[in-house]
A and B are shown apart, each in its own frame.
Chain A
Amino acid sequence: MMATRRLSKILPIAILLMGLFAAVLAADMVQAQEPQPQGPSDNEVNAIAKQLYCPVCENIPLDVCPTQACAQWRELIREKLDAGWNEDEIKTYFVNQYGDRVLAEPPRTGWNWLVYIIPPLAILGGIYILYRAFRSWSQPESEQGDVEEEQPEVEAGDEYVTRIEDELRQR
Chain B
Amino acid sequence: MSDQQENLPDYPGEEPPPAPKKGVDIRGRRISFGALAAWIGIFALLGLLAAGMLRNQEGPVTVGETVPDFTLTTFDGEQISLKELEDKVVVLNFWASWCKPCEEEAADLETAWRIYESRDDVVFLGVDYVDTETEAMVYLEKFDITYPNGPDLRTEISQTFRIRGVPETYIIGKDGKLAAFKISPFISLAEIQSMIDPLLES
Q: How far is the CB of A120 from chain B (nearest CB, A)?
A: 13
Task: Find out whether the CB atom of B130 lies under 8 angstroms from the CB atom of A75.
Answer: no
* B108-144 at interface with A (beta carbon < 8 Å): 130-132, 134-135
Q: A55-B130, A72-B135, A76-B132 are in contact. Are A114 and B153 (CB under 8 A)?
A: no
Q: A54-B130, A114-B48, A118-B45 are in contact. Are A101 and B98 (CB under 8 A)?
A: no
A73 partner, pick from B41, B132, B154, beta carbons under 8 A: B132
A99 partner, pick from B96, B98, B154, beta carbons under 8 A: B154
Q: How far is the CB of B127 from chain A (nearest CB, A)?
A: 13
Classify chain B: how many residues form its interface, as a range.
10 to 19
By a CB distance below 8 angstroms, the chain B residues around A67 are 98
* B138-171 at interface with A (beta carbon < 8 Å): 151, 153-156, 165
Q: A55-B130, A125-B38 are in contact. Are A68 and B154 (CB under 8 A)?
A: no
Q: How far is the CB of A75 from chain B (nearest CB, A)?
A: 7
B93 at interface (Cβ–Cβ under 8 A)? no
Q: How far is the CB of B68 from chain A (nearest CB, A)?
A: 17
By a CB distance below 8 angstroms, the chain A residues around B151 are 97
A27 at interface (Cβ–Cβ under 8 A)? no
A96 to B155, CA, bound (A): 10
By a CB distance below 8 angstroms, the chain A residues around B130 are 54-56, 69, 98
A146 to B201, CA, bound (A): 82
B131 partner, pick from A69, A79, A95, A118, beta carbons under 8 A: A69
Task: Find out whether the CB atom of B45 lies under 8 angstroms from the CB atom of A99.
Answer: no
Task: Find out whether the CB atom of B98 lies under 8 angstroms from the CB atom of A68.
Answer: yes
Task: Find out whether the CB atom of B98 lies under 8 angstroms from the CB atom of A72.
Answer: yes
A95 to B98, CA, bound (A): 20
By a CB distance below 8 angstroms, the chain B residues around A95 are 154
Helix, strand, loop or mixed for chain B's interface?
helix
A76 to B48, CA, bound (A): 36
Number of A positions contacting B (CB below 8 A)? 22
By a CB distance below 8 angstroms, the chain A residues around B41 are 121
* A96-122 at interface with B (beta carbon < 8 Å): 96-101, 114, 118, 121
By a CB distance below 8 angstroms, the chain B residues around A56 are 130, 165
A33 to B170, CA, bound (A): 52
Residues on B lying within 8 angstroms of A by beta carbon are 38, 41, 45, 48, 96-98, 130-132, 134-135, 151, 153-156, 165
By a CB distance below 8 angstroms, the chain B residues around A98 are 130, 154-155
A114 to B154, CA, bound (A): 21
Task: Find out whether the CB atom of A69 lies under 8 angstroms from the CB atom of B96.
Answer: yes
By a CB distance below 8 angstroms, the chain A residues around B98 are 67-69, 72
Given contacts A56-B130, A75-B132, 8 further A-B contacts (CB under 8 A): A69-B130, A69-B131, A72-B131, A95-B154, A98-B154, A99-B155, A99-B156, A121-B41
A101 to B41, CA, bound (A): 25
A100 to B132, CA, bound (A): 17
By a CB distance below 8 angstroms, the chain B residues around A121 are 41
What are 8 A-to-B residue pairs whose CB atoms are below 8 Å? A67-B98, A72-B132, A73-B132, A75-B132, A76-B134, A96-B153, A99-B156, A114-B48
Closest to A71 in B: B98
Q: Which 10 A-B pairs have the closest CB atoms?
A: A99-B154, A68-B98, A69-B98, A72-B132, A76-B132, A99-B155, A72-B135, A55-B130, A56-B130, A98-B155
